[in-house]
Chains A and B, each alone.
Chain A
Amino acid sequence: MSQLINSVLVLLVLTGFMLLSSSRLAACIHVVAFQGVLLGLLAILMQHGELTVTGVLLPLSTALVKGFLLPWLLFRAMREADTVREVEPLISYNLSIIAGSAVLVFALWLGQRLRLPSQPPSSLLVPAALFMSFVGMLVIVSRRKAVTQALGYLALENGVYAFGAAVALRLPVLVELGILLDVFVGVFVMGIAIFHISREFEHIDTDKFAASTDRPR
């Protein structure tokens, strides 16, 4: 069982690197969708075999929302904004991978230092969760397109979800559903915002927002 959990965690870390190294938005969305499905799988694996109805339905709804619904929204936003790839990120892809490995080392170090109230089932769980959050932040600050930044936000949120799974083995159902709803609404709003931005300015390059001020330049 711990082998399975470890395999899922390693796959999660690898999806983080894929997100950092891929320039195609469609590929990035698929990666984040896959992350969502993996998170659902992880949550089911963490139940130690004692499967309850809510214990299966909650991860399943997580996987459905994060793996299918949100990617669908993002695909729509991508189509409407008419962007296919991230051009010229602030940090190049090779440098992003190197930064990713540095972040991984930091996450591993921090994961060992961190004292948790309960022992997580795998020593890799906390580092992997931290790594995913850091990768999300890295993507948000280093990419220019709004869709990619929304993807970074989702990766960050996935990391938080995994961390939650590590710290509290069972959150109250309402809290989990609330978080899921929050993320859903967040991405929904972002999708609408991206659509409106791209209709108004004919691109979704957030760097150019600085130009749209009243101040004389």
Chain B
Amino acid sequence: MLFGSVLPLIVALACAPLMQGVITRTKSVIAGRMGQPLMQPYHDLWKLLHKGAVYSHTTSWIFRTGPMVSLASLLLALALVPFGGFPALSAFSGDFILLAYLMALGRFFIVLAALDTGSSFEGMGASREVTFSALAEPALFLSLAALARQTGRISISPLLTAVSWSVWAHAAPMLGLTLAALIIVFLAENARIPVDDPTTHLELTMIHEVMVLDHGGPDFAMIQYGAALKMWLFATIIVAVAVPWHSGNRWIDTAVGLAGMLILAIATGVIESSMARLRLLRVPQLLLVAIVLASLAVAL
């Protein structure tokens, strides 16, 4: 039983960078390029882990703590999310508040580390990250609240397992709205294209990447891996709502879940290839729309 609950965590740890690889590959195929190998994120992590870290004299212990706290909080958050047919490692009522705040804690420490460098460029990125995540958080909470209201559970793991085809059959508009809000939050929180361009590194309009410019070696590996895990976490929630497959056989459910993740990754790649990044001033508007969608879902 315990093994079954550890499995979602193992799958997440093993497959999270692959999802980023799939997105990058989709984008290159659409752009007509060969693209990097699917396993490139793993190679990058491996390479980074074997490098030394360089720390500026102006930074303090906060700069070194940032990546670790961020990765640790994401690992904890992942323990609350089920995958496929397997329940989460831990579940108690109201744990979706913990989930949101664990992610906020990780973000807070990355922001602190960015401010610790004293670079005005990173401070700007930190300011943007905090602004946009402050708007994404209500959308996430309201979406989860809508799901909780519909299923009558207030813990992530039972809540996501309780979403089924019969819920879709009698509350399709509400689930559709929640799903749309969650997808906007997914794109915003993971710095994907309509909000932020993950491939640019030295541009004044970027948000997430700018905060981690001064991290190198193992620290940067932790941040990259943490970003992959965060994406996996949000994707898990979206797939659990969009493809509520409960056949009874947990292995089949897990396979369907993995297929859902693959489709979501490809869809993200398609969205990124077909859209331009929004102007920074328009991003709050997109997130406001997510909040409105989610609150409408709660009201239904």
Contacts and interface: CB of A to CB of B under 8 A. Distances in A.
A93 B292 CA distance: 14
Interface in A118-136: 124
A142 interface: no
A101 B295 CA distance: 8
Contacts of B291: 101
A6 B285 contact: no
B53 interface: no
B296 interface: yes
A108 interface: yes
Q: Looking at chain B, what size class is its interface with the partner chain?
A: 10 to 19
A10 B289 contact: no
Interface string A163-205: 0000000000000000000000000000000000000000000
B170 A3 contact: yes
A21 B289 contact: yes
A13 B288 contact: no
Given A3-B170, A7-B172, A10-B173, A97 B289 contact: yes
Interface of A: 3, 6-7, 9-10, 13-14, 17, 21, 93-94, 97-98, 100-101, 104-105, 108, 124
B300 interface: yes
28 contacts: A3-B169, A3-B170, A3-B172, A3-B173, A6-B172, A6-B173, A6-B300, A7-B172, A7-B173, A10-B176, A10-B177, A13-B296, A14-B293, A14-B296, A17-B289, A21-B285, A21-B288, A21-B289, A93-B285, A94-B288, A97-B288, A97-B292, A98-B288, A101-B292, A101-B295, A104-B296, A104-B299, A124-B300
Contacts of A101: 291-292, 295
Interface of B: 169-170, 172-173, 176-177, 284-285, 288-289, 291-293, 295-296, 299-300
Contacts of B295: 101, 104
B292 A100 contact: yes
Contacts, number: 44
A7 B168 CA distance: 12
A75 to B, nearest CB: 25
Contacts of B292: 17, 97, 100-101, 104
Contacts of B289: 17, 21, 97
